[in-house]
Amino acid sequence: MNLPIDYLRTFVSLAETKGFTRTGIQLNRSQSAVSMQIKRLEEEIGKKLFERIGKSVKLTPEGNILIKYAMRIIKEHDDAVRALSKPDLEGFIRFGSPEHYTTGVLPKLLARFASAYPDVLVEMRCENSDKIKEAVDRGEIDIGICTQISDGGQIISHDPVVWVAAPEFIMQKHKTLPIAVFEEDCIFRSWAIEALEKSGIRYRIAYVSRSISGLLDAVKAGIAVAPIILSNVPAELKTVDLEHGLPVLPVSNIVLHKTKKKTSEIIECFSEHIIRFFGEKI
């Protein structure tokens, strides 16, 4: 039995997106190419890995067994490639990100990069997406990841924005909904307010924070519900949606911006690391 690494990447992506079209977009492949790779992987294993449910899919019992090994194989493969390809990089890189990604995603991303390239110092800057993009354009930072707010850059992943609430939250139709939001220049705040107003839901801003940790603290205390990206939802909280009476929020496109004022092996290497990491959605 042979398990090609490209097939395993496609398998993991499909397990996460639950759709052939979304997987194709994520991996920059056609829907037919995704379908063919999954078919060949299933033929190689001799087991069905997915159950088709309309336009969506879910893992079979055999698929659930494979997913843990596939993610481990991909990680070990990529770690080996990084260790053998450019082990002698040294220097520093200036990196920027909104606070949304610094809570769950970036600590793992930076730790893995530091493990592979211990002689590269990453200088971190945390601001809103528009300020990060402007800083990249001015050459003040080398690489930035942002929520898509304009044209340009490279879309590297997608993260739904969801309403998060305390476990005991119940939507009460005739009461004003308390919400916790970021400061006024945050796109998630704009999306949330626009969705509530379009749905005719009365709301009040009960809590304003500059940080994701502040919003989550307000939600945990039962003060409000908040719009955040799905990857930042902690296990002790729940997401609420149309079934609970709240409107669907947009999907956030995560965009990579690189400075045009200079290029270097470190910038390219770190860019590849970010793209690969967000593709894995660890």
What are the boundaries of each domain within the chain?
A: 5-85, 91-152+254-280, 159-252
What is the rounded average pLDDT of the residues 104-108? Answer: 80
> What local confidence, expressed as pLDDT, does residue 69 receive?
92
* pLDDT 10s digits, 9-39: 999 989 988 888 888 877 778 888 889 999 9
What is the per-residue pLDDT across 143-162, written as a single tens digit (0 to 9) for each? Answer: 999 887 767 788 888 888 99
What pLDDT, on the 0 to 100 scale, is given for residue 205?
A: 95
Tell me what pLDDT residue 54 has: 79
CATH topology classification for 159-252: D-Maltodextrin-Binding Protein; domain 2 (3.40.190)
pLDDT band at 83 (very low <50, low <70, confident <90, very high): low
Q: How sure is the predictor about 282, in pLDDT bands with cuts at 50, 70 and 90?
A: very low
Residue 82 has a pLDDT of 67
Long-range contacts of 36-40 (CB under 8 A, 24+ apart): 37/6, 37/7, 37/10, 37/11, 38/7, 38/10, 38/11, 38/14, 40/7
pLDDT at res. 227: 94
| pLDDT of amino acid 140 | 92
Contacts (Cβ under 8 Å, ≥6 apart) of 82: 116, 117, 273
| Band of pLDDT at residue 252, cut at 50, 70 and 90 | confident
Q: What is the CATH number of domain 5-85?
A: 1.10.10.10
Identical fold between 5-85 and 159-252: no
Is domain 91-152+254-280 in CATH 3.20.20.140, yes or no? no
- pLDDT over 70 at 86, yes or no: no
Is residue 87 scored above 80 in pLDDT?
Answer: no
Of 180 and 22, the structure prediction assigns the larger pLDDT to 180
Residue 150: predicted pLDDT? 66
**Predicted local confidence at residue 200, as pLDDT:** 92
